């Protein structure tokens, strides 16, 4: 697809979002994994193993056409992002944990996204007339799309911390605006088929979003995570980076059809995450956990 959306708008939009993510990260966010390995491991297992399995099951249950099925799997393999951090902050989650999970997930996605995407392409075998696998060159493209803007943002944060702090809110607003524009642009590119696509993937993306939010909250909670940590995991696992899924679909796989689940998900995600966040954040504040590191992390999230 050689359109302005694929060649200019999407890369620019994603660069802004990933740069903004980098502005919120430091090397300490990666080091924090060593201090909270259990919760991070649980959340990553949900993100990397359980969600693709749920998406695969839903795709088979709904018998989606091949291109839309691949799009659902690309969406399931996409990490969380700055929007997840915002929802976590709104509903009193452990934002420091969100930042750590976002940082680690963004790096791991460079490997897992191509693996899940190639599995989906091989299993569903979409009839496009061309080879769509993520060969080495396209994997490098995924690497560039995901990590280079993040690395630049982290560099700016390290060198000019005051500037990064001032730019945090404007970049978050810009990220939300470009996310909406990307979704609108993607749906407009297929305006003749929008009704059919919504009928095809509206329900499945809604179920997938609810399942992601539920898995992200209940599995960590049942395994002993605190309430704030469970809320953080719910938002991180349930609020995917749909812009990244759309960019991979259009810019790398050259298919608007594959991008449709990500675009529809980007629409349904906001009200669903808001509703689930309100439900799971109700009730009294949790008592101190007895773990000083966890309690400091929770107090930090309250003051963010």
In the prediction, which pLDDT does 53 show?
Answer: 95
In the prediction, which pLDDT does 304 show?
Answer: 38
Torsion of CA 208, 214, 217, 219, to 10 degrees: -100
Least confident of 85-99, 223-237, 278-292: 278-292
The neighbouring-strand residues paired with 80 are 240
Tell me the pLDDT of the chain averaged across its residues: 78
| Range among 58-62, 144-148, 170-174, 259-263 with highest mean pLDDT value | 58-62
H-assigned helices in 125-241: 136-159, 161-189, 194-222, 227-238
Parent domain of 98: 4-303
**CA–CA dist 247, 193 (Å, integer):** 20
pTM of the model: 0.75
Q: Please say if the pLDDT value at position 292 is more than 60.
A: no
**CA–CA dist 208, 187 (Å, integer):** 20
The better pLDDT of the pair 285, 110 is held by 110
- List pLDDT tens digits, range 16-34: 777 777 777 777 766 766 7
Number of domains in the chain: 1
Strand residues in 62-163 grouped as ranges (E):
none
In the prediction, which pLDDT does 7 show?
Answer: 52
Residue 86 CA, distance from chain mean position: 12
- List pLDDT tens digits, range 177-200: 766 776 676 666 656 666 777 788
In the prediction, which pLDDT does 15 show?
Answer: 73
Contact predicate 212/52, CB 8 Å:
no
In the prediction, which pLDDT does 68 show?
Answer: 92
Reduced to 3 states, what is the DSSP secondary structure of residue 50?
helix
Contact predicate 183/263, CB 8 Å:
yes
Q: Please say if the pLDDT value at position 300 is more than 60.
A: no
Q: How confident is the model at residue 135 (pLDDT cuts 50, 70, 90)?
A: low
Average of pLDDT values for 156-165? 83
Q: Please say if the pLDDT value at position 1 is more than 70.
A: no
**Structure tokens of 259?**
């991008």
State the CATH number of the domain containing residue 13.
1.20.1530.20
Instruction: Give the single-character DSSP code of 192.
Output: G
Question: Residue 129 region, left (φ>0) first, then alpha (ψ -120 to 50), else beta?
Answer: left
């Amino acid at each position: 697809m050689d359109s302005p959306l694929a060649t200019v708008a999407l890369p620019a939009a994603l660069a802004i979002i990933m740069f903004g993510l980098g502005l919120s990260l430091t090397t300490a966010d990666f080091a924090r994994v060593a201090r909270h390995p259990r919760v991070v491991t649980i959340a990553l297992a949900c993100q990397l193993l359980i969600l693709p399995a749920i998406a695969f099951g839903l795709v088979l249950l709904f018998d989606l056409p091949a291109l839309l099925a691949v799009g659902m799997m690309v969406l399931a393999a996409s990490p969380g992002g700055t929007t997840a951090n915002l929802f976590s902050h709104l509903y009193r989650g452990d934002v420091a944990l969100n930042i750590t999970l976002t940082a680690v997930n963004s790096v791991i996605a460079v490997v897992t996204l191509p693996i899940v995407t190639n599995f989906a392409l091989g299993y569903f075998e979409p009839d496009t007339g061309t080879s769509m696998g993520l060969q080495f060159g396209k994997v490098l493209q995924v690497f560039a799309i995901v990590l280079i803007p993040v690395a630049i943002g982290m560099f700016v944060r390290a060198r000019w911390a005051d500037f990064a702090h001032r730019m945090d809110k404007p970049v978050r607003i810009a990220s939300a605006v470009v996310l909406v524009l990307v979704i609108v642009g993607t749906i407009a590119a297929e305006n003749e088929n929008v009704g059919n696509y919504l009928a095809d993937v509206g329900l499945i993306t809604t179920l997938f979003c609810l399942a992601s939010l539920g898995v992200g909250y209940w599995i960590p909670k049942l395994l002993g995570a605190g309430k704030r940590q469970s809320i953080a995991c719910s938002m991180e696992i349930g609020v995917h980076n749909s812009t990244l899924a759309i960019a991979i679909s259009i810019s790398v796989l050259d298919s608007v059809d594959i991008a449709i689940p990500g675009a529809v998900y980007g629409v349904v995600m906001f009200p669903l995450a808001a509703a689930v966040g309100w439900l799971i954040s109700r009730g009294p504040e949790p008592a101190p956990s007895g773990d000083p590191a966890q309690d400091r992390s929770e107090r930090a999230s309250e003051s963010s």
